Every structure is written in structure tokens, then in C-alpha cells.
Amino acid sequence: MADGKDNIYDLEKRLWSAADELRANSKLKSSEYSIPVLGLICLRYADHRFTVAQAEVEGKSTGRRKVGKTDYQARGVLYLPEQARFSNLHRKGAKDTISVYGVERVAETVRLCRMNLAVHGLAGDVKQGNSYYEDPFADVSPSTGSGRGGFDFVMANPPFNVDKIDKERIKDDKAHFPFGMPKTDNGNYLWIQLFYSDLNDKGRAGFVMANSASDARASEL
């Protein structure tokens, strides 16, 4: 059983993670982070007390009258309607609104990725393949009609400066490489084209790339 210090440490980690989430994805100032977080903490506490009282109230119910708000107020508990309970909010914000798909060349890494999805309860799949020559998710990300893919986001950390790619094999693949083949013998700009082609018209990509790719010249430029 965890002691008090462990519980406090876990709470600190959760609160810090919530602050990071708000910093990255909200319009709140740092001084305003506490407002929604404290609201959720209050709701979580109220929901816990409500759940305990609910078991007591419904356990003593005779069925002659409907259990109502006053039964909870008599126990000093805030009554929470179904749509305002923490469990309902948590259910609405739960990992099926996001589906994650990926391609990985190494079989061992594929298995690790799939376990990672399962541990976090995320929908999707990771398949083994070579991204230059294969697209195992062509049916998942159909073209939107503009020649682009159907994914909302792409996140990647591809291998830098990979050479010896068989460009003859992919030179006519305009769906994945719409800007053609760079003469430079590395895969940096092939990767960028793959990310671009997988996005829908409003999609966004975030990826790590070698410094040399930012000031490329000649055919890459």
C-alpha cells in the first residue's frame, strides 16, 4: 500500500502533467492554469462522496418512492445529475476519438508499439513495413480527392540521411512523392514528402529532421 508521500508525489505528477497540457493546448496564462484544474479536483471529490452516498441511499430504498436530491442533501452530499458526474466527463474524454497508425521496419519494435497502444487504450495499429516502398494503411487513409491522404496529424522521428534508397522503384509514385525525386542520395526529403502526402488538407505534421535538411539546396530546394 502506498504511503502518503507516494500519494502526494503521484498527485504532483498529475497536476504538472495537466499544467503542461494546458500550456501547450489552451489559451490560458500560467496564472490561470489552476482554474480548470481545481474545478476538476473539486468535481472528483464531490463525485467520490456522491458515489458512496448513492450506494447507501439506493441500498436503503424500499421502492415506494423515487430517490431524489433531498436524500443526498440530508447526508451533506452535493447531488450530481448524470451528465455532470466526473465519470461521465471522463468517459466523453476517453483514447477512441484518437486512432493511431504507424509503420515500422523492425518486427520487435512493432510489437513494442502495439503493446504501447494497448497499455494506453488507444485504437489503431502498427504494421511492419518499409515506408518508402509500402503503404499498409492505404485503405485507412484514403485520398481526400486532392491527391492528399486522410490523416489529421503525423508525428515522426525518421532515420536521418538514409542513403541507397531505390529511387527507380518509387519515382512514379506521385501519390506519396508528389514533388519528385531529389538527386541527393539520402531520404530526408523523401520522408518529408511521405508526411505531407499522408495528411488531409487541414492536417498538420510534427517531425524531427537532420539540421542539413533545413538549408538544403539544388533539387531539394
Q: What is the pLDDT of residues 132-171, one digit of tens each?
A: 998 888 776 544 444 467 889 999 988 888 889 999 999 9
The pLDDT score that the predictor gives to residue 96 is 64
Rounded to 5°, the CA angle 123-48-94 comes to: 10
The pLDDT score that the predictor gives to residue 115 is 85
Mean pLDDT of the chain: 82
Report the SS3 class of residue 154. strand
pTM of the complete model beyond 0.85: no
Instruction: Dump pLDDT digits (tens) for 48-95.
Output: 898 888 888 877 766 677 778 888 888 888 888 888 887 777 665 556
| Alpha-helix runs per DSSP H in 76-184 | 86-92, 107-119, 167-170
Rounded to 5°, the CA angle 143-145-146 comes to: 95
The pLDDT score that the predictor gives to residue 177 is 93
At residue 204, does pLDDT exceed 60?
A: yes
Of the segments 35-44, 78-87, 199-208, which one has the largest average pLDDT value? Answer: 199-208
Rg (alpha carbons) of the chain, rounded to whole number: 26
Crossing angle for the helix pair 4-25 and 34-60, to the nearest 10 degrees: 120
The pLDDT score that the predictor gives to residue 136 is 86
CA 101, 175, 206, 203 torsion-angle sign = negative
Residue with C-alpha cell 467520490?
Answer: 48
Cβ-contact 39, 46 below 8 angstroms: no
pLDDT band at residue 3 under the 50/70/90 scheme: low
Q: Residues 6 or more apart from 144 whose CB is under 8 A from it?
A: 150, 200, 201
Report whether CATH 3.30.710.10 matches the domain 4-92.
Answer: no
User: Where do the structural domains in the chain lie, given as residue ranges?
Assistant: 4-92, 138-221
